[in-house]
């Protein structure tokens, strides 16, 4: 059984990925300082899988603490690195916070990987690296344009750091570029738990429907798209999670041709904000209160994935539709309201 360290394992995508890894026979340990996540996520993982996960509540920006985890587990064979700040708006207001946290933690982790001879590294990147693309759908070969936010810059720079490191490292690496992760685990025991007012569309929709938010604000309907609102590629978090297991397996089976390879993880279909609202209304059977507001600074007009590479090379397939995303997210929101989760709120 391979032992994998997952950083940011208490976060939204990290915790769903731990479930998928466990279900596929991996042993997992988690590093997460819980500055923006809930340790209870691992309780939900245990409820779902029946397995407990050892958790180190440490900050990856502290090299000595990070080193100590690897020292205790010299048999770690792979690392999946999720831990990072991810709020686009906050990164615009405080870029140094983002560079400091997201880059320092990555470099410390890579130093440990190097020191302890960890064989495989999977990095949580984002379609944000493409900036405002000239052509959609984007493939992995689509030129990288200027990032629209410091958050996006940290993902571009992180990719560069890993590419440069990979050239002279014994380990093999994969960069996974996520589109818009959404939805919840079908058990409804785990899902997205935004801190404060949600910035992302799907939790903003479900919180509006449950009454935590008065009205959803649609950020602009004057874009050059079919209904004027922005286009995104919403991918179910469990589909995304499974891609990490496939990526690790691909590296373990030495199928990679390069020391660092890149994969887009999206469904291949773009939906507008208004289409997403209508998918929610259909899935929940409820009308959603929303109003049209101005554009949100930093928003990309339209982006969705060409996912041919992940499908043909990793054998990845998506199982969930936009309707599933909305129905699982809605069930999760109701369970949270009814305090029927380990999160209690
Ligand atoms: C962005 C990044 C993504 C990153 C994510 C983290 C890009 C292209 N994507 O996603 O890489 O992981 O942030 O947070 O940079 N919307 C509304 N009303 C709302 C909320 C959102 O209309 O209350 C709209 C947005 O304007 C956008 C769409 O919904 O058009 C999706 O927004 P969001 O969920 O925030 O994700 P991105 O901005 O695409």
Give yes or no for residue 126 CB within 6 A of ligand 1: yes
Compute the Cα dihedral for 124, 55, 109, 247 and give only its sign: negative
Work out which ligand 1 atom sits closest to the CA atom of 295. Answer: 26
Give yes or no for residue 300 CB within 6 A of ligand 1: yes
Residue 111: predicted pLDDT: 98
How far is the centre of ligand 1, averaged over its atoms, from the C-alpha of 85 (Å)?
15
Give yes or no for residue 86 CB within 6 A of ligand 1: yes
Work out which ligand 1 atom sits closest to the CA atom of 181. Answer: 12
User: Residue 181 to residues 49, 243, 316: CA-CA distances in angstroms?
Assistant: 22, 12, 16
How far is the centre of ligand 1, averaged over its atoms, from the C-alpha of 217 (Å)?
12
Contacts of 73 (CB under 8 A, 6+ apart): 3, 5, 29
How far from each other are the two terminal CA atoms of the chain, in whole angstroms?
36
Name which residue sits closest to atom 6 of ligand 1, judged by CA.
Answer: 86
Work out which ligand 1 atom sits closest to the CA atom of 204. Answer: 23
Work out which ligand 1 atom sits closest to the CA atom of 276. Answer: 29
Residue 13: predicted pLDDT: 98
Residue 148: predicted pLDDT: 87
Strands 271-272 and 231-232: antiparallel
Name which residue sits closest to atom 22 of ligand 1, judged by CA.
Answer: 218
User: Mutate which of 273, 292, 322 to test ligand 1's pocket (most atoms within 8 Å of Cβ)?
Assistant: 273
Strands 76-81 and 120-126: parallel
Residue 345: predicted pLDDT: 52
Residue 220: predicted pLDDT: 98
Q: What is the pTM of this model?
A: 0.97
- Distance, in Å, from the CA atom of 257 to the CA atom of 236, rounded to the nearest integer, reads 28
Residue 1: predicted pLDDT: 83
Give yes or no for residue 299 CB within 6 A of ligand 1: yes
Domains present along the chain, CATH in parentheses: 3-183+234-266 (3.40.50.720)
Give yes or no for residue 101 CB within 6 A of ligand 1: no
- Distance, in Å, from the CA atom of 186 to the CA atom of 4, rounded to the nearest integer, reads 24
Give yes or no for residue 265 CB within 6 A of ligand 1: no
Check if 63 is active-site. no
Residue 318, φ and ψ in degrees, nearest 5: -85, 140
| Beta strand spans in the chain (E) | 3-7, 27-31, 54-56, 76-81, 120-126, 172-178, 180-182, 216-219, 231-232, 234-236, 260-265, 271-272, 290-293
How far is the centre of ligand 1, averaged over its atoms, from the C-alpha of 201 (Å)?
6
Work out which ligand 1 atom sits closest to the CA atom of 202. Answer: 34
Among 130, 151, 165, 234, the one annotated catalytic? 151
* pLDDT tens, residue order, the chain (345 aa): 899 999 999 999 999 999 999 999 999 999 999 999 999 999 999 999 999 999 999 999 999 999 999 999 999 999 999 999 999 889 999 999 999 999 999 999 999 999 999 999 999 999 999 998 999 999 999 999 999 899 999 999 999 999 999 999 999 999 999 999 999 999 999 999 998 899 999 999 999 999 999 999 999 999 999 999 999 999 999 999 999 999 999 999 999 999 999 999 999 999 999 999 999 999 999 999 999 999 998 788 999 999 999 999 999 999 999 999 999 999 999 999 998 889 875
Name which residue sits closest to atom 14 of ligand 1, judged by CA.
Answer: 87
Give yes or no for residue 127 CB within 6 A of ligand 1: yes
């Amino acid at each position: 059984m391979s032992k994998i360290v997952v950083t940011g394992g208490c976060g939204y995508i990290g915790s769903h990925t731990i479930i998928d890894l466990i279900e596929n026979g991996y042993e997992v340990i988690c590093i997460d300082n819980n500055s923006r996540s809930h340790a209870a996520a691992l309780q939900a993982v245990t409820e779902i899988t029946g397995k407990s996960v050892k958790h180190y509540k440490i900050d990856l920006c502290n090299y000595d603490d990070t080193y100590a985890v690897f020292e205790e587990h010299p048999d770690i064979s792979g690392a999946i690195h999720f831990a990072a700040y991810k709020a686009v708006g906050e990164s615009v207001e405080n870029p140094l916070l983002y560079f400091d946290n997201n880059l320092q933690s990555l470099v410390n982790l890579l130093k440990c990987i190097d020191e302890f001879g960890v064989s495989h590294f999977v990095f949580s990147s984002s379609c944000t690296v493409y900036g405002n693309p000239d052509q959609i759908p984007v493939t992995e070969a689509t030129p990288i344009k200027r990032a629209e936010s410091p958050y996006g810059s940290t993902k571009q720079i992180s990719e560069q750091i890993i590419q440069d490191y990979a050239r002279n490292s014994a380990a093999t690496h994969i960069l996974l570029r996520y589109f818009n992760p959404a939805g919840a685990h079908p058990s409804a025991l785990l899902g997205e738990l935004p801190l404060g007012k949600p910035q992302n569309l799907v939790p903003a929709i479900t919180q509006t429907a449950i009454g935590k938010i008065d009205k959803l604000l649609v950020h602009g309907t004057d874009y050059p798209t079919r209904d004027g609102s922005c286009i995104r590629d919403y991918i179910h978090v469990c589909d995304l999670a499974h891609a990490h297991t496939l990526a690790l397996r691909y590296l373990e089976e030495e199928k990679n041709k390069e020391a660092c390879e890149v994969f887009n993880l999206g469904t291949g279909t773009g939906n507008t904000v208004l289409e997403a609202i209508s998918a929610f209304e259909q899935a929940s059977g409820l009308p959603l209160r929303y109003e049209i507001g101005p554009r949100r600074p930093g928003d990309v007009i339209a982006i969705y994935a060409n996912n041919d590479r992940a499908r043909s090379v990793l054998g990845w397939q998506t199982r969930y539709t936009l309707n599933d995303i909305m129905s699982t997210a809605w069930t999760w929101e109701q369970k949270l309201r009814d305090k029927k989760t380990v999160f209690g709120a």
